[in-house]
Chain A
């Protein structure tokens, strides 16, 4: 089942912070975060595993609430290069990564 992302879109000024949320109705083993710029491939940002392990990006942090099947991606002091569509992907017992519909982030000067 597809995870639900919110918000659908967000516009920031450079230096502002943003939070993108991802929730699932199913029990999760992992949550993945990717960023895709227009016309490009998705790029891995972060993976959060059941049990608390995290692997990912230096300047981006995320949380994973296993009980609520929710994850949040925190973008602090945003830069112009952060613009793009952010996707969360959830991994469950079916060993399939299912992506949300994406959150379009626009960072303006």
Chain B
């Protein structure tokens, strides 16, 4: 597709429940990135992929967060045992070439609310 598609748009989870977010990058884009945007608008980098391989995962809280990008499937970001502080908008972005050298296209985001 010609846009980054994120689903669902909104997700509400009780504290301790699992949340799974999906991202379909633009066709032909090799790089996928996940960012968390909290209320103060700050973007926190979570993880990046080059095709199905993890490129950089230094931003991931590994004990509860995991992500995958498998061939012929949307990429996913999963949060086990959600906490109140996980409430945020999660953006996925994709780019054709390596991140620092080219523009990235963002999806519309998934708003996760943990209650």
Contact = CB atoms under 8 A, between A and B. Distances in A.
Nearest to A42: B106
10 contacts: A29-B101, A30-B100, A32-B104, A41-B106, A92-B100, A95-B48, A95-B98, A96-B59, A97-B100, A101-B42
Interface of A: 29-30, 32, 34, 36, 40-44, 47, 49, 55, 85, 87, 91-92, 94-99, 101-102
Q: By DSSP majority rule, is chain A's interface helix, strand, loop, or mixed?
A: strand
B56 A32 contact: no
Given A96-B48, A99-B35, A102-B41, 17 more contacts: A30-B101, A34-B106, A36-B41, A41-B108, A44-B103, A49-B101, A85-B41, A94-B58, A95-B56, A96-B45, A96-B99, A97-B100, A99-B42, A99-B43, A101-B40, A101-B41, A102-B42
A91 B99 contact: yes
Contact of A96 (B41, B58, B102, B105): B58
B42 A94 contact: no
Interface of B: 33, 35, 40-43, 45, 48, 55-56, 58-59, 91, 98-109
A96 B101 contact: no
